[in-house]
């Protein structure tokens, strides 16, 4: 998340969000062309999406994002756990 007090951070965050949005638009465009031209069905696309998400290259990234979201929710609900984790990381030389 961008830091409103650091304009460069805001700019970088906006650039990253635009890249993700542009990619999503491109993917949707391609999928709609495939379905419209009867090259693939929505069901085939869904099946292949599941297969691709389970490939080691992507599965690890999805798991990492899921772990970050879960940790963030835990720390929001239990700030003491967050402080304990920070202290533990500092204690063991991790930043």
In this predicted model, what pLDDT tens digit does every residue of 40-80 receive, in sequence order? Answer: 999 999 999 999 999 999 999 999 999 999 988 888 888 88
- Determine the Cα–Cα distance for residues 45 and 43; give it in Å rounded to an integer: 5
Domain borders along the chain are 1-40, 54-95
pLDDT value of residue 95 = 67
Q: What is the CA radius of gyration of the chain?
A: 19
DSSP state letters, 24-60: HHHHHHHHHHHHHTTSS-HHHHHHHHHHHHTSHHHHH
- Residue 2 above 60 pLDDT? no
- Determine the Cα–Cα distance for residues 67 and 61; give it in Å rounded to an integer: 10
- Determine the Cα–Cα distance for residues 9 and 2; give it in Å rounded to an integer: 5
Please give the model's pTM, rounded to 2 decimal places.
0.60
């Amino acid at each position: 998340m961008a830091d409103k007090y650091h304009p460069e951070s805001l700019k970088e965050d906006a650039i990253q969000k635009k890249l993700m949005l542009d990619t999503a638009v491109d993917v949707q465009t391609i999928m709609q062309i495939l379905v419209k031209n009867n090259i693939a069905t929505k069901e085939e696309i869904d099946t292949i999406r599941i297969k691709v998400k389970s490939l080691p290259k992507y599965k690890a990234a999805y798991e990492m994002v899921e772990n970050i979201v879960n940790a963030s929710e835990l720390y929001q609900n239990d700030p003491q756990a967050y402080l304990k984790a920070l202290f533990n990381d500092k204690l063991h030389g991790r930043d």
